[in-house]
Structures are given as structure tokens and as C-alpha cells.
Structure 1
Amino acid sequence: MSTSVVIVDDHDVIRVGVRESLEDDIEVVGEGRDVESAITAIRQARPQVVILDVHLPGGTGGGALDVLAEVLHDPEPPRVLALSVSDAAEDVVAVVRAGARGYVTKSISGPDLSDAVRRVASGDAVFSPRLAGFVLDAFNAAGGEVASVDEDLDKLTAREQEVMRLIARGYTYREVGEKLFISIKTVETHVGKVLHKLQLTSRHELAHWAATRRIV
């Protein structure tokens, strides 16, 4: 049985290389080159797995985090395998906190990438040994906080997460509205729902909550 995937990368040569390196039982059903085209391709093709470059253009500046915030709240979300030239701990931990099931670097071989796709499709978490250490260290340092952050974020819709991150970064309601093309009243409504769901009472508490969890 084949595994369906969407490949997302802003470099044509990388997408072609990934496509050609995948084994025959993995079917590429769509591609994206930025945040917007990625979300469209994923929702049209509804793949089992998304091979997602971490640093994408478009969106609100979060790259892969913007894609994850959108598609992981769909009725039948795909599993996501991050693929990046970066092996920086902050990149690895950020995408895992956002919901990725695995993270591998672009130095991976074709057979190993194919195996990673299959394992992620089956529900496994897949990391190279060094990157797995970053995730484990972050989890231990937080006393289990990586898992708790995912649980808290799951309470928020994709739009609420977008608003939350911008407010936590210090944007005004007006600036958030302009960036997301929504009214100030709508921003206020979203902020109110975010505070309620996270059991916080103010923007200051929200900024502190996000900063201590390194999700802004």
C-alpha cells in the first residue's frame, strides 16, 4: 500500500530531488513552495504525510509554524515530517512543539527519508539521533513542558494561535488586524477566547506564558 505525501520547499531543485529520491511505494500527490501554496496543496490533496521545509516564505513570518498552525486543526490532519538544512536545537524544538512528528536534515539519504515517511505515516516520531537529543533535553529541562504546551495549543484554533503569537510579540490590536486582514473587533474577540481557554487574565500574562514556553 502506498503512502501519499505533499512536498513543501521553496527551492524547485530540492522538491525535484526529494521526489526522485523517494521509493516507489511513496506517492507524491502535491507540492508547495511557500506557506500559502503549501496550505492549499495539503488541503486539496489530503496526504498522509507532509514533507515540510522549516524556513518557508509567506504567511506571518513563521514559515513551517504557520503551515502547522493551519493544517493540524483540519478535520483529518496529515502527519508532518520536517526536512531542513538546519540542525539548530531551537528549530527542532519549535516545530515539534507546533506538532511535527519528526525532523530530519537534508543530508538524509533517499532510503532513510522514505523509511522516515513510512514511520511518520504509521504514527512514529522520527528524528536523527542528534536531533532526538535536542527534543529530549528540551522535554527534561521543562519538566514535561513540551507535552503540556502541545496540549494547551490544541485548545486554540489556527486563527487564535496566529493572534496569540502576534499579541505576545507586542503587536497592538490594530497592527494584528492589519497583518491578518481582520477587524480590530475580531482581534479583540480572538484575544478574549485565547485568554479564556488558557485561563489567563491579561495580555501581559499571555506574553509571559508564550515567552516562557518559547513559542513566539
Structure 2
Amino acid sequence: MVIRVAIIDDHDMFRAGVRASLNDQVNVVCEAANVDDAVIALHEHLPDVVLLDVHMPGGSGGGGAEVLTRCGDIVGGTRFLALSVSDAAEDVVAVIRAGARGYVTKNISGPELLDAIARVNGGDAVFSPRLAGFVLDAFGAQTQNTTATVDDDLDKLSAREQEVMRLIARGYTYREVAAELFISIKTVETHVSAVLRKLQLSSRHELTRWAAQRRLL
């Protein structure tokens, strides 16, 4: 069976280059250039493998990690492979914790990308050779650090603030959180401000990354 692939990246020329590199050996079933369009397209087409950029516009500012958290119901049946220029620890850890099966950089060759797609589709975890050791070290260290501190972090938040935190981190709008919890939008704003202050975060993007790293979504 031909592998069904989605390409999620905000650069038209890059998506075109990826399609050309894949050389018709996979079936590209959908593309998207921002977080919200990606979530809609992936739920509609349910591809086998998603090539996902880490830094994406739209949504709540969570980029590729936000796409993963908002597509949590299809992660597993659909495999996600991060494809990015970034090798920053925070980017790698965020998307892997959110559910990606691998992380490769954009200097990968066409044949190498096809091989990575096939391996991820088969259930393997795939990383660019120069990232493999770094990913294992960073992910292991992050796991140890966050496991030791996650309870202390959550203890800073009230039960209601924890509910609001999880919904906001999953990409809900303030209006959607208010409807879900039967509270006013103003109350949601107050809770979000308190959460960001207590966790010493500055934005919804940082909150999404913080929650994804601690498997709280």
C-alpha cells in the first residue's frame, strides 16, 4: 500500500520541494500552512504519516506541538515526523513529548526522507544522525527534571486553574474554555493570568510547551 502523507509547513516553496523530493513514491493527501488548517485537514484526511514543521503560525502560538496536542485523538493511527530547520532542545522535546515519532532536519535528502517516512509508518522512532545522541540526552534529562518537579508545579495551581491550564494548553479559545467550564470569559482571563504568573510563563505558547513536556494534555 502507498503511504498517505500530509505536509504541514507554512512555506509554499518548501512544500513544493518536499513533494518533488518524494517523487510520487507516496500519496500526498493534504497540505496546510498554519495550525488551525492543519488540525482540520488532518482530522479530515487521517494520513498515515504527517511531515510537521515545528514553527507554525496560527492557533494559540504553540506551533507543531499544538498541532499534535489538538490531534491527540488521531496520534497513534497517524504517525507524526517533525521536519524542521531547528535543532533547539526545547523544540525537539516539545514535539516528541506531544507525540511525534521522530525529528529530522530539513537538510535531509529525498531518499533519506522517504526512508524516514517508511520507518515512522512502520512504528520506528527516527532522528537525523547528528541529532540522535542529542535527542536522547536532552529527552532523558528533561524527563528526569520534569518528573521531579511536576507535582510541585501543579501544587501552585488551584483545581480550577489546573482545568483552565489544560484546556488553554490544548488550544481552546477563552470563549471555548468559558463554555466548557460554565464560567465567564473574564473569569477565564483571570485564571490564565494567574496560571502564567504562578508558573513564571509569559505566553500561551510557553504554556502549551510546558504542559506538553509534562504530559499534562
Structure 1 length normalisation: TM-score? 0.71
Matched with 1:155 is none
Matched with 1:126 is 126
146 and 96 in structure 1: CA distance in 2 versus 1, 3 angstrom threshold: farther
Question: Helix, strand or coil for the counterpart of 2:73?
Answer: coil
Shift of 1:77: 3.8
Aligned equivalents of 1:23, 1:213: Cα separation in 2: 34
Quick check: 1:93–1:134 contact (8 Å CA) kept in 2? no
Show the 5 A alignment for 1:41-190. 41-74=41-74, 77-142=77-142, 163-164=165-166, 166=168, 179-182=173-176, 184=178, 186-187=180-181
* Structure 1 stretch displaced more, 84-93 or 109-118: 84-93
Q: What's the CA shift string for 1:85-122, capped at 9, x where partnerless?
A: 11112211111111100111111100001110000000
Aligned equivalents of 1:98, 1:75: Cα separation in 2: 9
Q: Which amino acid aligns with 1:106?
A: K
Question: Helix, strand or coil for the counterpart of 1:182?
Answer: helix
Shift of 1:76: 6.3
More relative contact order, 1 or 2 (CA 8 Å, 6+ apart): 2
Q: What's the CA shift string for 1:45-78, capped at 9, x where partnerless?
A: 1110000111000111101111100112238641
Q: Which runs of 5+ in 1 are unaligned?
A: 149-159, 168-175, 190-202
What number of residue pairs does the alignment pair up? 183
Runs of 4+ residues deviating >6 angstroms: 145-148
Matched with 1:25 is 25
Quick check: 1:139–1:145 contact (8 Å CA) kept in 2? no
Quick check: 1:83–1:106 contact (8 Å CA) kept in 2? yes
Identity %: 49
Aligned equivalents of 1:42, 1:131: Cα separation in 2: 27
Matched with 2:156 is none
Aligned equivalents of 1:99, 1:14: Cα separation in 2: 24
Aligned equivalents of 2:132, 2:182: Cα separation in 1: 39
Question: Helix, strand or coil for the counterpart of 1:136?
Answer: helix
Quick check: 1:101–1:124 contact (8 Å CA) kept in 2? yes
Q: Which amino acid aligns with 1:140?
A: G
Aligned equivalents of 1:143, 1:42: Cα separation in 2: 29
Aligned equivalents of 2:4, 2:82: Cα separation in 1: 16
Aligned equivalents of 1:25, 1:133: Cα separation in 2: 30
Q: Which amino acid aligns with 1:136?
A: L
